[in-house]
Chain A
Amino acid sequence: MAGILRSAVAIPRYRLTAAQLRDAWGDAPAGDLAVAFHDEDALTLGVEAALGAGGDGLDGVDLVVAATVSPPFAERSTGTQIAAACDAAAPSCRDLGGSRRAGLGALWLAGLAVDAGGARRAVAVASDARVAEPKDPLEARLGHGAAAFLVGRDGAGADVLGAASAFADYLEVWRVDQERFVRGEGARLERTEALVKPVAAAVGKALSAAGIRAEKVAHLAVGAPDAQAAGAIAKASGIRPEAVVDAGWSAVGDTGTACAPLALCAALAKARPGDVVAAAAPGDGAEAIVLRATDRIEAARPRPPLDAVLGRARPVPSYARLLAWRGLIASAPDAPAVSAVLLHQEEAMLVRRIGYRCEACGLLAYPPARTCQRCRASGVTPHRLGRFGAVFTFTRDRLFEGVEPETAMAVVDLDGGGRVFVQGTDCDPAEISVGTRVELVYRRLHTGGGHPLYYWKARPADPEDRR
């Protein structure tokens, strides 16, 4: 029986606060929204979550299923790029999208593949950074984030007992081809037709497949847009209202495909062995998965801990700056194209963080080379660099034309060896100086030749990020 071995979340540090939105448009939104920094998108959030669940190298993982409805590349596999940035060997990669229920769909597919013997271990990742048009009521609802699960057969912290889907064709939220913004009509009918009915139907079918009665559900992790909708779904499903798990409605927002997976992570964070967890996601129908926590649930709890992730929130500098991050007002100029041949040649170095270790003198250094920088020996072998380290030196550059007025640059000595030179991110540049502990995160560097380019950046690390 397939189950969840480990789970992880990735939530941007920045918040568009309810107060900031009110200042901008006068409405009073329900809560804060987690919003991607200028260098974050569904790919980078997916990488962060996948690394959290699968670890560097995604050891033993032979399937990556990535779900998103806001991929930075409409054509080019998000799953493949996530797997590469995790330095996975050569897993089979599948991409899901179409509607936000694809997030739970990824978990379902991963479990199915493991059960069928098509994969020993799989990573299911759901990530989104959907953008609504400024002032559209949807703007006050959409948040950004990702969740990932390491799925395997033995020793899971939560076993999958049953899964089901439900059909509904209702024009609820959509984004047409070549359109940047997600739209929605917001008619009251969508509450019943697009949310409550299909989700309750899917949950009911999944529970019967699992042979579990609704009142036995200890945690209902539903990717509903708000607590009220989740309560209505619980009621329609015959599940106790106390079972509803807070999916971050007031702290994060509706994170698209990641919404139900994040709620499932919240359920895994508090489930006790034996607890039944029902996860459900709406989106042009619905998806539901029923799981039971095992005595290994501790290992499957989300990392970093949800409270820690949510606790490091900081408001966006201003609403205007947020619009600049999205490229909706004048921002950084595009850069020239980078040859695909160069990107291919240097994939190990640029995407997989591969440096070398010198067999003769032991030096660990970057980038990959034929000979050792220190002793000039030719016996060097590729070696993946760590992700954590300390700043050796830094600057805060205002000449560089980045999205932000000031760009932190850092020379970082990585734990275990190797030195890199990267931009800082996720903080006021003044927070990076000599000795600052940092974590390398995969981020959008700039747009060149009409598409985004990615590289590693340093963000101030929290102790709980270390694993």
Chain B
Amino acid sequence: MSDPVVVVGVGCAKFGDRFDASYEDLAAEAAGAAFADAGIEADRIDAAVLGTYSPGPRGGKAGVGLADALRFYGKPVTRVENYCATGTDAFRHAVLAVASGTHRCMLVLGVEKMKDRPVRGVPLEGRHPIVGRGATAPGQFALAANRYMHVYGLGRETLAKVAVKNHANGAKNPLAHLRMEVTVERVLAAPIIAWPFGLFDCCPTTDGAAAAIVMRRSDARGLRPDGPVVRGFGLAVTSGRPYFDPGFDYLGFPATRAAAAQAYQMAGIRDPAREIDVAEVHDCFTWTEIANYEDLGFCERGQGGRFIEEGRSGPAGDLPVNPSGGLKSFGHPIGASGVRMIYEVVTQLRGRAGPRQVKDARVGLAHNVGGPGAVACVIVLAAE
């Protein structure tokens, strides 16, 4: 792109059990941080995208959650919801609108308030009331994990290493939800949620919000010079009923592969394992991160277990994954997560990630997968 889209500012609310804050409080916290980070006034925003999976009692299934939180009235606000890919897809929509020249300065806001609901885990909306009754988010990913572990002979110990790595990363991150390290023994001894996932194989239920501001480079003159550019993006939607597809092997997610192929083609990436320096991927459950290594082309199919075992995705590895702590430690407020990943990748590419900084990070990737496997979104950012 001759006039690429630049991320001029990012902001992130403190993730966690935000019993002190409402949905709108979290939205304002993240957006305010992004305005300050970009060094712009809120009035400069001419359109916004709100990524929210379940707006709850203060939201409404519309753009009003953002409009009321920021008193952002009379301007375009589009609400995006695409399972767990909601955040990155919201970002993608803003990039498209800015790149088209329709809008000049767009706010992407991902918000989710999950701790004020009467249900455990993710509220399952729009599900068939009979077919799939009994399916939960961990249970659905566990179907894939169990098949994968059966085919490739993986044990729970290997899965646990993802939790150990991401908790160690998150412990260094002041905004993360679960800021404590865990050991393989502790992960394995935790109560089972949905076999093979124990408590520490699962991301927590978290309140949070994150924001990003995008502009074309030509419009961003005079703003901070270290904003990474959007090099590529991809979104793929496959069947929302993968469990009825007799051809689905449950060894990974075709949606991720398709979204990555789109993003890599746009970004001109041929060898992701070598060309990507840092990645924030969707580790909703430990096994998911292992599948992501393969689906994103970081390693061959079936080699995801080795990839974590050999430390290649660790902070000192050749492709550090989830230096933020990931969904596992940072938390997973659905709609906020993808935008939070953008926040982390931008921070890394600016070289301002402090104790968790990945050395010489020039190209970064953010990835969401939801459904499970029904939707995936991949964003590639690069330092200028």
- List the interface of chain A (C-beta within 8 A of B): 335-336, 338, 342, 346, 349-350, 363-367, 373-374, 392-402, 407, 409, 411, 413, 417-421, 423, 433-434, 445-446, 448, 453, 455
Contacts and interface: CB of A to CB of B under 8 A. Distances in A.
Given A419-B246, A445-B130, A455-B130, A399 B143 contact: no
A445 B128 CA distance: 13
Interface of B: 120-121, 129-139, 142-147, 150, 191-195, 239, 243-247, 250
Contacts of B192: 396, 398
A421 B130 contact: no
A399 B120 contact: yes
B131 A392 contact: no
B130 A402 contact: no
A21 to B, nearest CB: 31
Given A335-B129, A393-B144, A395-B194, A423 B246 contact: no
A393 B143 contact: yes
A346 B128 CA distance: 11
Nearest to B148: A393
B147 A392 contact: yes
A43 to B, nearest CB: 15
Contact of B130 (A350, A363, A373, A434): A350
Given A365-B244, A395-B146, 12 more contacts: A374-B247, A392-B147, A397-B195, A399-B137, A400-B139, A407-B134, A411-B143, A413-B246, A421-B131, A434-B150, A453-B129, A453-B130
Given A374-B247, A397-B139, A411-B143, A421 B120 contact: no
18 contacts: A335-B129, A367-B131, A393-B143, A393-B147, A396-B194, A397-B136, A397-B193, A397-B194, A399-B120, A399-B193, A399-B194, A401-B120, A402-B134, A409-B139, A411-B250, A413-B246, A419-B244, A448-B129
A336 B129 CA distance: 8
B299 to A, nearest CB: 22
Contact of B243 (A349, A421, A445): A421
B245 A373 contact: yes
A338 B127 CA distance: 12
A354 to B, nearest CB: 13
Nearest to A350: B130
Contacts of A433: 146
A259 to B, nearest CB: 33
A393 B143 CA distance: 6
Contacts of B243: 411, 419-421
Contacts of B121: 399
Contacts of B133: 335, 423, 445-446, 455
Contact of A421 (B135, B145, B239): B135
B146 A423 contact: no
Contacts of A448: 129
B249 to A, nearest CB: 9
Contacts of A420: 243-244
A393 B129 contact: no
A423 B134 contact: yes
Counting chain A CB atoms within 10 Å of each CB, the highest count among B130, B131, B139 belongs to: B130
B86 to A, nearest CB: 21
Given A421-B131, A453-B130, A395 B142 contact: yes
Given A395-B195, A399-B120, A419-B246, A350 B129 contact: no
B163 to A, nearest CB: 17
A448 B130 CA distance: 10
B246 A365 contact: yes
A24 to B, nearest CB: 29
A407 B142 CA distance: 13
A417 B244 CA distance: 11
A8 B156 CA distance: 44
A402 B147 CA distance: 24
A334 to B, nearest CB: 12
A455 B336 CA distance: 36
Contacts of A417: 246
Counting chain B CB atoms within 10 Å of each CB, the highest count among A417, A421, A423 belongs to: A421
Contacts of A392: 147, 250
A391 to B, nearest CB: 10
Contacts of A373: 239, 244-245
B188 to A, nearest CB: 16
Nearest to A363: B246
A346 B131 CA distance: 11
Contacts of B139: 395, 397, 399-400, 409
A394 B141 CA distance: 10
Contacts of B129: 335-336, 338, 342, 448, 453
B130 A338 contact: yes
B193 A398 contact: yes
Contacts of B137: 399
Contacts of A349: 131
B235 to A, nearest CB: 21
B136 A399 contact: yes
A330 B191 CA distance: 22
Contacts of A398: 191-194
Nearest to A364: B246
Contacts of A399: 120-121, 136-139, 193-194
A397 B194 CA distance: 4
A395 to B, nearest CB: 4
A113 B168 CA distance: 75
B338 to A, nearest CB: 23
Nearest to B250: A393
A446 B134 CA distance: 10
A418 B246 CA distance: 6
Nearest to A355: B244
A368 to B, nearest CB: 11
Contacts of B142: 395, 397
B138 A397 contact: yes
A455 B131 contact: yes
A393 B130 contact: no
Contacts of B135: 397, 400, 409, 421
